[in-house]
Each structure stands twice: as C-alpha cells, then as structure tokens.
C-alpha cells in the first residue's frame, strides 16, 4: 500500500513540475517579448519652446494667468506683427487656434486685410507693453505700440489695445473673439 501512495505522490509531483515548467517558459517568453518591444519603441520627447518664462497649468476648463498671458501675446504677434510676405503664414497659424463659430468672420476680415497689405505694401510691427488677463473670463487684454510702414517709410505709430476672448473646450484652447483697436481699418 505504501508503494501505491508513493507512486501516486511521484505522479502528482511530476504533474506539478510539468505545469511549473510550462508556466516558467511562458513567463520567460513574455519577458523576452517585452524587452524587445521596449528596445524597439521610439521615445516621445516633449519640447518646451525657449521663450516660455513662467510655468503654467491647465486644469479642466480652468487655465493659469500665465497661460492666458502667453496666448494673448502669441495671438497679438500673429495678428499685428506682419508684412505682406508673412501675412499668409501668420494668419493661417491664427486661424488654427480659432473657435469654429468665429472662424468664418475672422477669415473674411483677414482676407480683406491681406488685400490691403499687399496693395499698399504695408508692414506693421507690434511691441506689447502690457498684458492684463482675467482667468475667470478667459480674456487677455494686450496693449502696445504699433508701427506701420509702407516700404521703408514709417507712416504711423499708435498705441493699440486688443482684447482676446478665449474658450476652453475639452482641452482645446481656442480664440473666440478679438475686439479693440483695428489698425487695418484706417
């Protein structure tokens, strides 16, 4: 009878050993596969532009004042620091950051301005002097000096104040409206 128990225990241990060998083989194979995937994977590097001076944050529908300030400055430069040759590029970039319901009206105004800039060979240079933000309203008010040139000749220097109203939709921070001084209308 002891021989039967011994035989039964040996068969049970061999079965357990075989199960563990299969399990260890599968785990080893999965480790080799994971190492191969990690070695072949391209790493995503997030670059931060050098002109950012302050850290900023976005949390749900809220944004930091620093982010609004940077976006107001960015939009003002795209809209006002232009020449006939840079006009298409800068305004295409501005339209990429525009809310869909504002896109058509802004594009029509920019097209009208582009015709005027090209016909007059007008260039403008904008130097922001003050940016005031209201994070609760998602608004940035940018004030600065706008110099207008026809060819090489300065024809006008004015102080312009533009108000940029933004909207935050599911992580997309978009320009909703621009109001204030319109140097292109004169």
Q: Which residues pair with 85 in a beta bridge?
A: none
pLDDT reported for residue 131? 94
- Mean pLDDT throughout 88-112? 91
pLDDT reported for residue 53? 64
| Confidence band for 181, pLDDT divided at 50, 70 and 90 | low
Q: CA 79 to CA 87: how far, in whole Å?
A: 9
Q: CA 43 to CA 164: how far, in whole Å?
A: 36
| Confidence band for 24, pLDDT divided at 50, 70 and 90 | very high
Q: CA 9 to CA 4: how far, in whole Å?
A: 9
Residue pLDDT, tens place only, 113-128: 888 888 888 899 999 9
**Burial class for 162, CB neighbours closer than 10 Å (0-12, 13-18, 19+):** buried
- Is it the case that residue 185 has pLDDT exceeding 50? no
Q: For the whole prediction, is pTM greater than 0.85?
A: no
* Cα–Cα nearest to 85, from 125, 123, 127: 123
pLDDT over 90 percentage in the chain: 45
- Is it the case that residue 11 has pLDDT exceeding 70? yes
pLDDT reported for residue 172? 78
Contact 72, 80 (CB under 8 A): no
- Is it the case that residue 184 has pLDDT exceeding 60? no
Q: Write the DSSP assignment of the chain as a string of letters.
A: -HHHHHHHHHHHHHHHHHHHHHHHHHHHHHHHHHHHHHHHPPPP-----TT--S---EETTEE-HHHHHHHHHHHHHHHHSB-TTTHHHHHHHHHHTB-HHHHHHHHHHHHHHHHHHHHHTEEEEEEEEEEEEETTTTEEEEEEEEEEEETTEEEEEEEEEEEEEEEEETTEEEEEEEEE--TT--
Q: Which backbone phi and psi does 157 adopt, to 5 degrees?
A: -135, 120
| Confidence band for 3, pLDDT divided at 50, 70 and 90 | confident
Quick one: angle between helices 65-80 and 87-96, nearest 10? 150
Residue pLDDT, tens place only, 32-84: 999 988 888 766 554 455 566 667 777 777 788 888 888 899 999 999 998 88
Residue pLDDT, tens place only, 94-103: 999 999 999 9
- Is it the case that residue 134 has pLDDT exceeding 90? yes
């Amino acid at each position: 009878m002891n021989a039967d128990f011994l035989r039964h225990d040996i068969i049970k241990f061999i079965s357990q050993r075989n199960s563990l060998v299969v399990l260890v083989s599968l785990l080893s194979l999965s480790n080799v596969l994971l190492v191969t995937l990690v070695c072949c994977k391209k790493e995503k590097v997030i670059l931060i532009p050098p002109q950012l001076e302050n850290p900023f944050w976005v949390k749900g529908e809220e944004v930091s004042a620093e982010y609004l300030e940077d976006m107001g400055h960015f939009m003002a430069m795209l809209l006002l620091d232009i020449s006939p040759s840079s006009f298409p590029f800068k305004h295409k970039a501005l339209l990429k950051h525009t809310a869909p319901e504002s896109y058509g009206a802004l594009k029509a105004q920019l097209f009208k301005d582009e015709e005027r800039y090209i016909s007059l060979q007008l260039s403008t240079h904008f130097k922001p002097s003050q940016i005031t933000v209201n994070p609760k309203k998602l608004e940035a008010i940018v004030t600065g000096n706008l110099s207008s040139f026809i060819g090489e000749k300065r024809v006008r220097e004015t102080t312009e104040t533009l108000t940029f109203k933004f909207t935050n939709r599911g992580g997309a921070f978009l320009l909703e409206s621009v109001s204030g001084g319109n140097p292109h209308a004169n």
